[in-house]
Amino acid sequence: MNNSFFAKFMPKEPKFVRLLTEMAEVSAEASKIMVVCVKNTDTEKDIEYAKQIKVWEKKGDKTLITVFNELNTTFITPFDREDIHNLANCLDDVTDYLNSCAKKIVIYRQKQLPESAETIAVLIESASKMIVEAVHGLTSIKKNAKNIRQICADLHDIENKVDDIYEEFLSNLFANEQDVKEIIKLKSIMRELERAANAIENVGKIIKTIIIKYA
């Protein structure tokens, strides 16, 4: 951390955008593993995937703490402190929910997941990549405003799609599954994916706020 007196008054764009991009990359990596994890039916492999996602989740946690420490020691920030704070928290949420999902797959020794799990995981993966692009785009906010706006709109659409898929899954689950234990376990696992998609939409909302203020 550069704490020298003058550094405090230097433009801080590169640092914060770099850290936030790192956080976005972390959730993109976690979401990539998640796609493989939900397709897989081997418990031993699920344990391995959950461990890999956990590694990313810890890396994200560390970067989050760095962001907070930098916010506390930096006089001039490229955007409102609150927006940086919220964006970092929300990016962390995405990875956290993916981590919770993987953990639950392991805890419940859930071998088979419905097809909708893969569909949602793939949507989350592509949304996560778009977030990396949008967050990185904040380095030249005026130049990239149009593209970032489009990404935020796409993130919103993806969340709507996930919502529909999740609701149809729930509806079918209660209509067709007779094993109530299975209902509880699947509902609980899928809920984490749906939460990750929600967090992704929130990331989009915060980025949009920044664009409105600074583009």
Of 19, 61, 37, whose CA–CA distance to 192 is shortest? 37
Instruction: Output the CA–CA distances (angstroms, integers) from residue 126 to 16, 25, 28, 108, 173, in the order listed.
Output: 23, 12, 8, 27, 26
Q: Based on CB atoms, which residue is closest to a copy of itself, 55 or 108?
A: 108
107 in contact with a copy of itself (CB under 8 A):
yes
**C-alpha dihedral, 76 to 80 to 81 to 87, nearest 10°:** -130
Given the rule CB under 8 A, which of 16-24, 52-60, 86-94, 106-114 is the region that contacts a copy of itself? 106-114
Contacts of 162 (CB under 8 A, 6+ apart): 120, 123, 124, 193, 194, 197
Hey, which residues between 4 and 23 contact a copy of itself (CB under 8 A)? none
Nearer to a copy of itself, 36 or 47 (CB): 47
Residues between 152 and 191 that touch a copy of itself (CB under 8 A): 167, 170-171, 174-175, 180-181, 183-185, 187
Least distance (Å) between residue 125 CB and a copy of itself: 25
SS3 state of residue 203? helix
Binding mask 190-209 for a copy of itself (x = CB under 8 A): -------------------x
DSSP state at residue 75: S
**DSSP SS3 for 149:** helix
Burial of 4 (0-12, 13-18, 19+ CB in 10 A): exposed
CA nearest 23: which of 50, 54, 63, 55?
63
**Contact between 76 and a copy of itself per CB under 8 A:** no
86 binds a copy of itself (CB under 8 A): no
The residue from 3, 72, 112, 176 that contacts a copy of itself (CB under 8 A) is: 72
Query: Minimum Å distance from CB 17 to a copy of itself?
Result: 20
Find the binder of a copy of itself among 108, 122, 154, 215 (CB under 8 A).
108
Binding site for a copy of itself (CB under 8 A): 68-69, 72, 103, 107-109, 167, 170-171, 174-175, 180-181, 183-185, 187, 209, 212-213
